[in-house]
Each structure stands twice: as C-alpha cells, then as structure tokens.
Chain A
Amino acid sequence: MIKVEQLHKSFGENEVLSDLNTSIERGEVVTIIGPSGSGKSTFLRCLNLLEKPTSGHVFVNDTDITNPKVDILKVREQIGMVFQHFHLFPHMTVLDNLTYAPMTVKGMKKDEAVRKAKDLLERVGLSDKTNAYPNSLSGGQKQRVAIARALAMEPELMLFDEPTSALDPEMVKEVLDVIKDLAHSGMTLAVVTHEMGFAKEVADRVVFMDQGKIVEETQPKTFFDQPKTERAQNFLDKVL
C-alpha cells in the first residue's frame, strides 16, 4: 500500500534522511524506532507529504505522491495522522473536531457525520466528552480524540508520530490500548514510538533507524532478541 524508493531529505546542508527504501503492506503494523534525531518522524511525515522529500519517490496505492501533479489533499484523505502534541482544534467541541473534516472534505451529511463521530467516541471510550472543549481534557483523552478525529475520515492507513511521548506515564496505556485495538481490527498502521513493549507486542515488523538510514528491518522477535547490527544492539542496551 506504501512503497518508498530512494527517499532523501535535507534541511539545508543537513541530510536527515538518506536513501530510504521500504514498503508497508495492507493490514500491516509497522513500528519505527531509533534514537532521537534519527529521522523517524521526518520519514513518517514524508509519507503524507507534510515534509517534502528532497528526492526519491513515495507511492501510495501505486500513486507517486512526490509527483507535483498529484492532488495531495485527495491522497491525505486516505491517510490519517496522529501527532505527538495532539493538535486538536481548540475552538471546536470534541464532536466538531470529529465531524468538521468529513463534512468539509468528503461532503458527508451532518447527521451521518455526527452518528459516525459518536460511534468513534464510544470506541475510544469518550462518549461523555462529546460536547466538551479540548482544553478541558487530559492528555490521554486528547490523544484518543485525535485518533478518533483521524479515523472519522475512514482512512486506509494511520500514521502515528510518537503518540504517547507527550503524555504523563499513567495515561500512556489508555492510548496504546486504543492503538492496539486498531491494530487488531486489521487497519494498516505506521507508528513512530519509544514504547518498546508496544513494538514487541503489536508490530508485524520493526524498522530501526539511525542517522537518517534504515539500519534494520525485521520481525520484532528477531529484532529484540538477536539484533544483527552493533548500532541496534547499543540502542537496545540503552532503552531496555
């Protein structure tokens, strides 16, 4: 469903991604891990073109989204994204956060959007917050709303950019549980995370990045038990 070819990204002189090649299959759960500054988030953001690659290609369902002729907004409709800092719309209620994009972008009827939104809020356990404003929610609740907001567009693929890094420790689980639930429902997920337990338990594949390169790419069991490279070994020694 996603295919990445010879992806490069530089900020000025600084090359943050160099020659990435990988792919994500439909229904697959891929976690991207690695030390800070390894380019994980930049890589993820290249997949919906929030970051413009310097060179290389990203194919989404065989469409090359790096082609300037492609309507990127149409592609983004199919790709949900969840950010580290939630980025809920603070001037809208939780319900409006969920219904705004489906109504504006997909032209969904209001009652249908509301019905879907309520289903999603129930799924993430926040039915009682329908009419609350984001600022009255805890971090964990905000992130669950953010996930529901992305799901409201009925995407084929969800990108998670360190979804639990800005949360208080006691709220990490409630968010991870929602993501796990998604993984089990067969949704395609790409998750940048520092939660090794989550990567081990849920991922079909682990992509280990360091210094802008994909260093290892394998099943979680293999990666965590017998990393092939010294860099991965060093990283695991530090975080486990």
Chain B
Amino acid sequence: MNLDFSQIVPYIPFMLEGVWVTLQFVIISIIFGFILGSLIALVKISDIKGFKFIADAYTSVFRGTPLILQLLLIYYAIPQLTGYDISPFLSAILTFGLNSSAYVSEIIRAGIQAVDKGQREAAEALGIPYRPMMLKIILPQAMKNILPALMNEFITLTKESAIVSVISYLDLMRRAQVVASDIYRNFEPLLFVGVLYYIMVMILTIAGKYVEKRMRASD
C-alpha cells in the first residue's frame, strides 16, 4: 500500500471549488431543462398533431443517444459548423439542459396523464375552463407523481455531470484529474472527489425522500 493523503492537502481548496463549479452548471441546466421540458410536456398532452410529432421525435433522439456524444457534438461541431467558438460552460449547460428537458418532459407528461381522468371530467362538468382546471386541479395532483421522479432526474444529472471533464470544463471531476497529473497520484484525488459526489447525491436523496413524504401526507 502506497497511500499518502497529505500530498493532496494543498489541493483541497482547488478541488472544493469544483463542487461549486459543478453545482453551478447543474442548477442552471436543471432550471433550463425544467422550463423547456414543461413546455414540451404541454405540447405532448395537447392535440396539435404536427407539434406533438416534433416533441416525440425530440425526446426520442435525446434519450436514444449517449450524453457524451451530445456534449462533443455541441462543443466541437458547433464551432466547425458556424464558426462560433462556444465556451465549455455554455456547451455543458446546453447539452445537459436539452438532454434533461427530454427526460423531464416525459416525467411531467406521465405525471399529468396518471391523474384520474374523472378529475378532468368533473372539472369540465362544472364549467371550469382549461387553464384553471390544469393549474388548480390537474397539476397539483400530478405533482405528487412528478416531484419524486424529478428529484431522481436531478440526482442522475449531478452524477452524469462528471462527463463535462472531457471538454476540459473545470468541474469537480476535471479538477481531480488535474491534481492527479500534478502529483502523479490518482487514487487520493479521485477518492476525495468521489466522496464529495457521494455527499452531494446523498443530500439530494434525503431532500427527495423528504419531498416524497410531504407529498404523501395529503393522502
């Protein structure tokens, strides 16, 4: 055994900063993905044929190809195509936001459609228009299905975010690699950021459990 954690001590602030960098783009991606995903979900449950097809195709492509491929396409292919030199940060947000919106749209669609269709009929029979029906009757009930699944999506996104290291974005993962090549030691920095990832995911998991419990309280 040749382990020496004292060697990474000077690099700890540098790596801890990676937590914030990772969280920063994950949070922006989540918000971006959530807004776009909600819009796509609305299209999916609507009756507009052409739009519905586009929304389904969009989801299918983003779910059907590797995330790392999407990332490399956006980071390397956009400059080649347009001449616009896209930053790693923007590529990361774009990739994760677009990818996440595909998953989120499915989560929201399924959540809305899982609400008993009698609820909609009851609202219609009372003469309640579409907007208030959706906002006050259907969506509050759909949230019960949506929120736990959404928390899962956030957890997945946080873990998967590590692949942005391949486009040299200085996230938590990339910083571990930088430290590793500086001190010619891999195990210590990788283990260190591994623990950091685990703590982040655990915090999200506990928050998710809490949300789920709150949702169930009204049953």
Q: Enumerate chain A interface residues (CB-CB to B < 8 A).
A: 48, 50, 73-74, 76-77, 79-81, 83, 85, 87-91, 100-101, 104-105, 133, 135, 149-150, 153
Contact = CB atoms under 8 A, between A and B. Distances in A.
B6 interface: no
Given A89-B137, A91-B140, A100-B136, A76 B127 contact: yes
Given A81-B122, A150-B126, 7 more contacts: A48-B125, A73-B128, A76-B124, A87-B116, A90-B141, A90-B218, A101-B126
Contacts of A83: 118, 121-122
B118 A85 contact: yes
B144 to A, nearest CB: 8
B83 interface: no
Contacts of B127: 73-74, 76-77, 101, 105, 153
Tell me if B's interface is mostly helix, strand, loop or mixed. Answer: helix
Interface size band for B = 10 to 19
Contact of A104 (B124, B128, B218, B219): B128
A50 B125 contact: yes
A105 B123 CA distance: 11
Interface in B87-138: 116, 118-119, 121-129, 132, 136-137
Nearest to A82: B125
Contacts of B137: 89
A128 B126 CA distance: 24
Contacts of B121: 50, 83, 87
Nearest to A105: B127
Interface of B: 116, 118-119, 121-129, 132, 136-137, 140-141, 218-219
A87 B122 contact: yes
A80 B125 CA distance: 7
A81 B125 contact: yes
Given A89-B137, A90-B141, A133-B218, A101 B118 contact: no
Contacts of A88: 122
B118 A87 contact: yes
B126 A135 contact: no
Contacts of B218: 90-91, 133
B136 A79 contact: no
A50 B124 contact: yes
B128 A101 contact: yes
Contacts of B125: 48, 50, 76, 79-81, 150
Contacts of A101: 123, 126-128
A78 B154 CA distance: 46
A50 B119 CA distance: 12
Contacts of A81: 122, 125
B182 to A, nearest CB: 55
Contacts of B124: 50, 73, 76
30 contacts: A48-B125, A50-B121, A73-B124, A73-B127, A73-B129, A76-B125, A76-B126, A77-B126, A81-B125, A83-B118, A83-B122, A87-B118, A87-B119, A87-B121, A87-B122, A89-B119, A89-B122, A91-B141, A100-B136, A101-B123, A101-B126, A101-B127, A104-B132, A104-B136, A105-B126, A105-B127, A105-B129, A133-B218, A135-B219, A150-B126
A112 B121 CA distance: 26
A86 to B, nearest CB: 8
Nearest to A152: B126
Contact of A105 (B118, B119, B128): B128
Contacts of A87: 116, 118-119, 121-122
A83 B117 CA distance: 12
Contact of A149 (B116, B126, B136, B219): B126
B114 to A, nearest CB: 13
A149 B127 CA distance: 12
Nearest to A89: B137
The 3 residue pairs across chains A and B that have the minimum distance between CB atoms: A87-B122, A81-B125, A87-B118
B40 to A, nearest CB: 25
Contacts of A91: 140-141, 218
